Structure formats: structure tokens, C-alpha cells
Amino acid sequence: FPACLSPAWLPREGKGRRVVKAQQLWYAIIESQTETGTPYMLYKDACNRKSNQQNLGTIHCSNLCTEIMEYTSTDEVAVCNLASIALNMYVKADRTYDFHRLFEVTKVIVQNLNKIIDINYYPIPEFYFINMLDFEPLEFPDSPYDKFENCPFHFPFALKVLNPHLLKDLTDRGLWSEEMKNQLIAHNGSVQALEDVPDDLKNLYKTVWEISQRTIISMAADRGAFIDQSQSLNIHVAEPNYGKLTSMHFYGWKQGLKTGMYYLRTKPAANPIKFTLQKEELQEKQRADMVCSLENREACASCSA
């Protein structure tokens, strides 16, 4: 908003410290996002231009997940009480949408959220936050509790589940088998490299890494007209670089997004071992990775050297 960005306002309020080159700041943002997935990107002008609280003042920040934009001042603090509705659950067997049921459920949810606001709202003294800041670090130290080391939560673990719609389509076409299952696992759930899978299914079933993020941003912009707040928009770029991220951010900004990006997701440098592959096939693959192919010397680091 122009009032907040006036050059004369900063020194007068004692907010200005030093001048940073825009390109230098932008490079630092891109570098941090590439390495950590953050900082989040929110566009203050878009948030305020499309706000229904313009009569109250300027919105300075969002909630943690970057999808709630509420006005906050020293006199009152905005709080978001949230509920989620799974829209796909209202598709009926005849492929029509049950808007009446959606209306009834939404009505109950709104009433319940309103009760939560009534019950939970109370004035918060400033010294409460000061006490929390002073004493919370003493009460909850950074180190884990003494029995945490052998806790199951201590070990990272993720279970990948097969898309049930893909399973049905492969079964209906007689393509589902143990070999197909192992091929899917070996290719991290992607069907693009599987010769037996027809092109129409390859076009229909894509992993998040195979979907154009420009399309994801465009879809977010299309939804924006029907959202009074914003959207937690995660972006997936397998191998990010300065050019890709800059182009992506500017495209989202030009589309008028409030939230340009929540988290940036990138592919890990190494893939985890796929324990659910058949043991014999896994061992065969590991042997193949270790054997030097004399027929393709250029592809081998040892021979080409």
C-alpha cells in the first residue's frame, strides 16, 4: 500500500536503518528458498486491494499458513477459527453435486465456529505475552525429553499409498500385476516411463513433479475470485534455480495472487531405499548399479576418465 511504502515515512518513524539493493535482497530470498523452502511469499498490495477490511486499516501480515488475511492493530488481535470441508464427499452416485447437503453442513459449521468465537474470545493483557516470552524458554527447553531417543516418532518414516483411481484403471484394462506394482515403486509412483501404460493414462496420472507449476499458479488465480482470504499454495520444483524461481514468482505476482508461495518443495539429492520392492529385484537393481557397462563407456565416470 502506498501509505506504508512512502520514502518520507520511514526516517520520520525511525524505521529506516539502511538501504539494500533490490537485486541483492531478491537473490538472498531465492537462495534461502532453494536451500530451506522458505521464506513464504505474500503480496501485500494484492492482500489489501482485495480485502473486505479496507475500512479498518492496512493488513500487515497473515496467519502462519499464509491463507488467512485479517486486520490486526494494537487494540484488537485477529484470530482465525478454521474448519475444512471435503468437497468431493458431496458428489452423488449419479455424478451430480449435492449442493443442498453442502449448504446444510456449511450452515452447521458456521454456527459452531461462531460459538467458538463467543466462548474463546477474551481481552488479552499485554503483560501476558511478555510473561510467555520470558518464561516459556525456561519451561520448555530446546532439548528433547530424556526418553525421546527410542521413541518411534524419533525415526523418520513415510508410507506411500497407491492412487486408488489409478489402481482401478489399471485393473480394468488388465494391466495390474506384481510386476506393475514393482515398476511403480521403482519409479516413485510415476507411470510416465512405463511402456505398458497407455498415453491417456499417462496424461491423466501425473505426480506433482510432472505437473506444470505455471498451471498450478494459474488455477490458484482462477480460484482467487471465489476466496475472500487466500490459499496455502505449495510449489514443487525438482531442481530450482534463480531463473526458474524468479520467473515463477513474477508470474504469480502478475496474476494477482495474495499468497505467491507457501513452501517450496524440491527433490532430495538421494532417493530413499524402496523396502517394499521384492528382495530379489532390489538386489538385482543394486548389482546393476554397481556393474560397469563396457558397451557404454561414455556413461561411466571411470571409463570416460
In this prediction, residue 272 carries a pLDDT of: 62
Instruction: Report whether the peptide linkage leading into residue 39 is cis, meaning its omega lies within 30 degrees of zero.
Output: yes
Higher-confidence position of 158 and 84:
84
Q: Tens digits of per-residue pLDDT, 160-219?
A: 677 889 999 999 999 999 999 988 988 888 999 998 999 999 999 999 999 999 999 999
**Eight-class DSSP state of 277:** S
In this prediction, residue 237 carries a pLDDT of: 94
Higher-confidence position of 273 and 168:
168
Grid cell at residue 29: 530470498
Grid cell at residue 243: 531463473
Which pLDDT band, with edges at 50, 70 and 90, does 148 fall under? low
In this prediction, residue 123 carries a pLDDT of: 59
In this predicted structure, the answer to whether residue 11 has a pLDDT above a threshold of 60 is yes
Give mean pLDDT, residues 132-153. Answer: 48
Grid cell at residue 88: 468431493
In this prediction, residue 304 carries a pLDDT of: 45
In this predicted structure, the answer to whether residue 126 has a pLDDT above a threshold of 60 is no
| Cα end-to-end distance, the chain, whole Å | 58
Give mean pLDDT, residues 141-161. Answer: 54
Higher-confidence position of 259 and 125:
259
Which pLDDT band, with edges at 50, 70 and 90, does 5 fall under? low
Q: Which residues, 6+ apart, have CB-to-CB distance to 191 below 8 Å?
A: 166, 184, 197, 201, 202, 205
User: Would you call 164 helix, strand, or coil by DSSP?
Assistant: helix
In this prediction, residue 214 carries a pLDDT of: 94
In this prediction, residue 6 carries a pLDDT of: 58
In this prediction, residue 18 carries a pLDDT of: 77
Following CA atoms 195, 197, 201, 206 in sequence, which dihedral angle do they give, to the nearest 10 degrees?
A: -60
Query: CA separation (Å) from 218 to 40, 89, 158, 234?
Result: 18, 25, 30, 13
In this prediction, residue 283 carries a pLDDT of: 56
Higher-confidence position of 127 and 71:
71
Domain layout of the chain by residue ranges:
1-63+213-271
| Residues known to be catalytic | 63, 65, 67
Give mean pLDDT, residues 14-33. Answer: 87
